[in-house]
Structure 1
Amino acid sequence: MEAESTQDIIIVGAGISGLATALGLHRLGIRSIVLESSEKLRATGFAISLYFNAWKAMEALGISQHVRSLGDRFQGWVVRPISSGDPPKEMVFQESEEYEVRCVQRKLLLEALAGELPEGTIRFSSKLVHIELSGHYKMVHLSDGIILKTKVLVGCDGVKSVVGKWLGFKNPAKSPRLEIRGLTHFPTGHGLGRRFFQFYGKGVRSGFISCDQNTVYWFLTHTSTDLDKKNHENIKQFVLAKIKDLPDNIKSIVETTDLDNLVMSPLKYRPPWELLWANIAKDNVCVAGDALHPMTPDIGQGGCSAMEDGVILARCLGEAMKAEYIKGEIEDKDENYKRIEDGLNKYARERRWRSIDLITTSYTIGFIQQSRGKWMALFRDKFLSSFLSWLLMKKSHFNCGKLSHE
Structure 2
Amino acid sequence: MAAEIQQQDAAGEIVIAGAGLAGLAVALGLHRKGVRCVVLESSPVRRTSGFAFFTWTNAFRALDALGVGDKMRGRHLQLEGVRVVSSSTGKVAQEMDLQVKGKLGPHEVRCVHRNVLLQALEEELPAGTIRYSSKIVSIDQDEHSSAKILHLADGATLRAKVLIGCDGINSVVAKWLGLAKPSDSGRLATRGLALYPDGGHGFEPKILQLVGEGFRAGVVPTSDTDVYWFFTWSPSPDGKDGAVDRSPAAMKQFVLTTMRGAKVSPQVLEAVERSEMSDVLAAPLRYRPPLSLLFASISKGNVCVAGDALHPTTPDLAQGACTALEDGVVLARCLGDAMAADGAGEDKKRIEAALSRYAGIRRWRSAQVIAASYVVGFFQESDHPVVSFVRDKLLSGVLARTLLMMPDHDCGKL
TM-score scaled by length of structure 2? 0.92
Among candidates 156, 176, 179, match of residue 169 of structure 1: 179
Among candidates 115, 138, 147, match of residue 148 of structure 2: 138
Distance (whole Å) between structure 1 residues aligned to residue 48 and residue 184 of structure 2: 22
Tell me the CA shift for residue 53 of structure 1.
Answer: 0.5
In the alignment, residue 351 of structure 2 is paired with which amino acid?
Answer: I
Distance (whole Å) between structure 2 residues aligned to residue 145 and residue 385 of structure 1: 54
Tell me the CA shift for residue 13 of structure 1.
Answer: 0.1
In the alignment, residue 74 of structure 2 is paired with which amino acid?
Answer: S
Among candidates 377, 383, 389, match of residue 378 of structure 1: 389
CA contact (8 A) 1:184 1:261 kept: no
Q: Are 2:411 and 1:400 equivalent residues in the alignment?
A: yes
Q: Are 2:217 and 1:206 equivalent residues in the alignment?
A: yes
Tell me the CA shift for residue 88 of structure 1.
Answer: 4.7
Cα-to-partner distance string for 1:285-323 (whole Å, 9 max, x where unaligned): 000000000000000000000000000000110121113
Tell me the CA shift for residue 355 of structure 1.
Answer: 0.5
Distance (whole Å) between structure 2 residues aligned to residue 73 and residue 54 of structure 1: 14
Tell me the CA shift for residue 171 of structure 1.
Answer: 2.3
Gapped regions of structure 1 (runs ≥ 5): none
In the alignment, residue 54 of structure 2 is paired with which amino acid?
Answer: S
Query: Paired residue for 2:7?
Result: 4
Q: Are 2:113 and 1:113 equivalent residues in the alignment?
A: no
Distance (whole Å) between structure 2 residues aligned to residue 36 and residue 95 of structure 1: 39
SS at match of 2:406: helix
Q: Are 2:247 and 1:231 equivalent residues in the alignment?
A: yes
SS at match of 1:228: coil
Query: Paired residue for 2:97?
Result: 92
Spell out the pairing of 1:338-349 with structure 2 (5 A cutoff): 338-349=349-360
SS at match of 1:263: coil
Gapped regions of structure 2 (runs ≥ 5): none
Distance (whole Å) between structure 1 residues aligned to residue 185 and residue 7 of structure 2: 41
Spell out the pairing of 1:7-406 with structure 2 (5 A cutoff): 7-94=12-99, 96=101, 98-134=106-142, 135-189=145-199, 190-225=201-236, 226=239, 227-228=243-244, 230-244=246-260, 245-259=263-277, 263-323=281-341, 331-332=344-345, 335-403=346-414
Distance (whole Å) between structure 2 residues aligned to residue 151 and residue 197 of structure 1: 46
Distance (whole Å) between structure 1 residues aligned to residue 89 and residue 29 of structure 2: 47
Tell me the CA shift for residue 372 of structure 1.
Answer: 2.1
Distance (whole Å) between structure 2 residues aligned to residue 222 and residue 353 of structure 1: 28
Tell me the CA shift for residue 92 of structure 1.
Answer: 2.1
Distance (whole Å) between structure 2 residues aligned to residue 234 and residue 34 of structure 1: 37
In the alignment, residue 113 of structure 1 is paired with which amino acid?
Answer: L
SS at match of 1:273: helix
Q: Closer, same or farther in 2 for the Cα pair 1:261/1:281, shift >3 Å? A: closer
CA contact (8 A) 1:182 1:262 kept: no
Cα-to-partner distance string for 1:340-379 (whole Å, 9 max, x where unaligned): 0000000000000000100000000000111222122111
In the alignment, residue 187 of structure 2 is paired with which amino acid?
Answer: R
Tell me the CA shift for residue 136 of structure 1.
Answer: 1.4
In the alignment, residue 346 of structure 1 is paired with which amino acid?
Answer: R
Q: Displaced runs of 4+ in structure 1, greater than 6 A?
A: none
Tell me the CA shift for residue 263 of structure 1.
Answer: 2.1
Cα-to-partner distance string for 1:137-192 (whole Å, 9 max, x where unaligned): 11111111221112100000001100111101232111111011111111122121
CA contact (8 A) 2:19 2:166 kept: yes
Cα-to-partner distance string for 1:23-58 (whole Å, 9 max, x where unaligned): 000000000000000011112211011111101101
Q: Closer, same or farther in 2 for the Cα pair 1:377/1:314, shift >3 Å? A: same
Cα-to-partner distance string for 1:91-129 (whole Å, 9 max, x where unaligned): 122265532100011111111111100000000000101
In the alignment, residue 264 of structure 2 is paired with which amino acid?
Answer: L
SS at match of 2:184: strand
In the alignment, residue 269 of structure 2 is paired with which amino acid?
Answer: K
Distance (whole Å) between structure 2 residues aligned to residue 368 and residue 292 of structure 1: 25
Q: Closer, same or farther in 2 for the Cα pair 1:379/1:165, shift >3 Å? A: same
| Equivalences, count | 396
CA contact (8 A) 2:207 2:218 kept: yes
SS at match of 2:409: coil
Tell me the CA shift for residue 260 of structure 1.
Answer: 6.3
SS at match of 1:22: helix
Distance (whole Å) between structure 2 residues aligned to residue 249 and residue 136 of structure 1: 58
SS at match of 2:7: coil
TM-score scaled by length of structure 1? 0.94
Root mean square deviation of aligned Cα: 1.6
Tell me the CA shift for residue 258 of structure 1.
Answer: 3.3
Q: Closer, same or farther in 2 for the Cα pair 1:66/1:87, shift >3 Å? A: closer
In the alignment, residue 40 of structure 2 is paired with which amino acid?
Answer: L
